[in-house]
Each structure stands twice: as C-alpha cells, then as structure tokens.
Amino acid sequence: MTPSCLFLDHLEESPTAPTLMTLATVGADGYPRTRTVMVSGVGEDGRVYFHTDARSQKVRDIAACPKASLTVLTPDRTRQVTVIGDVVPDTRSGERTAFARRSHYLQLLAWLNDADLAAQTTEERRRLWASFADEHPDLTHSGPPETWAGYAVVPREYLFWTADDAGPSRRVRYTRTTGTSPDNPDWTQEVLPG
C-alpha cells in the first residue's frame, strides 16, 4: 500500500467532520509559523489541498519559501500523519470546486473576513456579517472572491505515528526516492521508535 493510500485511510476515520491539519510554513524572516487549517482534499497522487485568503501570512510565507509541513491527528488521538513537501498553487477550477464544497458560513468567511472587518467592534462585525448573509443566501454558484487561493503540498515525506496503549508507540517514515517524479514516486520505508 502506498503512503498516500495509508494517509487516505487515516482521513476516513471521521468522514462527516471537516479534517483539520496543522500547517507549518517558514517566512521570509526565517522563522516557522503554524496554524490550523481545513484539508480541502487529497488527490490520488497524495497532494494535500488547502484553501485560504491570498492576503494571509501563510501565502506570504509560501511565496518566500514554497515548502511546508502539515500534521493531521486522528479524532481518537491514536494516530498522526505528518506530510512534508513542496507547495504548488491549485488551479482556478480546483479553487472553485473547493469553494462550492464549503459550508455557507465558510463561504461568507472567504468573502468577508478581511482587515477592515476585523478592525470593527464585535457588534459592527456581526451586523455587517448578517447583512451580507441576508443578501447572499447561497454563494455556491457565485464562486469564490478573487482573494481566495488554493495550494497543494506535494509529498516528499510521510511520517505515520501510531499510539499503543499496551506498549510503545512507533513511527513509520516514507521518503520519496530521489529522482522519482512526484506524479509516480518510489518510496523508501523506515521504522522508527515512537
């Protein structure tokens, strides 16, 4: 079984809830930053997609250093997967598809959540939100705002951690073999202590 298939198996543990990941990037200042974002999808090739505001710090970090690490912890907290790789932009078509799959709340967030709104009082933010929501009861067919951006982490390494309540935990690392294509990779496997 390929590491991307193993990763998909981990994600299927909670099919009804959105899958969250911790995404780590490195900025132009050389310092790492982490934040929790939603996994938009995983391609058959193992690419892990996420979408965000193009004006965000993470987008600036990716522009400075297009590499990232992400970690997904399963809901029962017994397994964790870390993916390390290069970050590439999603297609505009992929961005539209991801936006259409979002809840109405998250679609509103994509359209409204900017520095100007954040600077308002709580009451004013809520008033502006409610007004926009009333005017736009369905944004699915409108598509994302121009500030909506999508990216994919192309895996070069997977690290699977598994807990064991009756013994020691362990990790299994898969590393893409040098010189193999990200579209058709070969992987080396290494078992590590947990």
Q: How far apart are CA 11 and CA 4, in angstroms?
A: 11
Q: How far apart are CA 66 and CA 30, in angstroms?
A: 13
pTM for the predicted model, two decimal places: 0.90
The amino acid sitting at 34 is T
pLDDT digit string (tens) for the chain, length 194 residues:
889 988 888 888 766 667 899 999 999 999 999 999 999 999 988 999 999 999 999 999 999 999 999 999 988 888 899 999 999 999 999 999 999 999 999 999 999 999 999 999 999 999 999 999 999 999 988 899 999 999 999 999 999 999 988 899 999 999 998 777 777 789 999 999 98
Can you give the pLDDT at residue 54? 96
Q: Which residue's structure tokens are 């590393």? A: 175
Q: How far apart are CA 179 and CA 73, in angstroms?
A: 30
Q: Tell me if 110 is assigned to some domain.
A: no
- Give 95: exposed, middle or buried? Use CB within 10 Å, 0-12, 13-18, 19+: buried
Structural domain count of the chain: 1
Q: Which residue's structure tokens are 């409610």? A: 130
Q: Tell me if 149 is assigned to some domain.
A: yes
Q: Tell me if 161 is assigned to some domain.
A: yes
Q: Tell me if 12 is assigned to some domain.
A: yes
Q: How far apart are CA 181 and CA 113, in angstroms?
A: 38
Residue numbers of the domain that contains 81 = 3-103+143-193
Q: How far apart are CA 33 and CA 112, in angstroms?
A: 24
Q: Tell me if 126 is assigned to some domain.
A: no
Can you give the pLDDT at residue 74? 83
Alpha helices in 12-145 (DSSP H): 57-64, 92-101, 104-112, 115-118, 122-135
Q: How far apart are CA 185 and CA 156, in angstroms?
A: 9
Q: What is the CATH number of the domain that holds 32?
A: 2.30.110.10
Can you give the pLDDT at residue 37? 96
Contact 68, 60 (CB under 8 A): no
Question: Closest Cα partner for 4 from 41, 51, 50?
Answer: 41
Q: Tell me if 23 is assigned to some domain.
A: yes
Q: How far apart are CA 134 and CA 152, in angstroms?
A: 33
- Give 189: exposed, middle or buried? Use CB within 10 Å, 0-12, 13-18, 19+: exposed
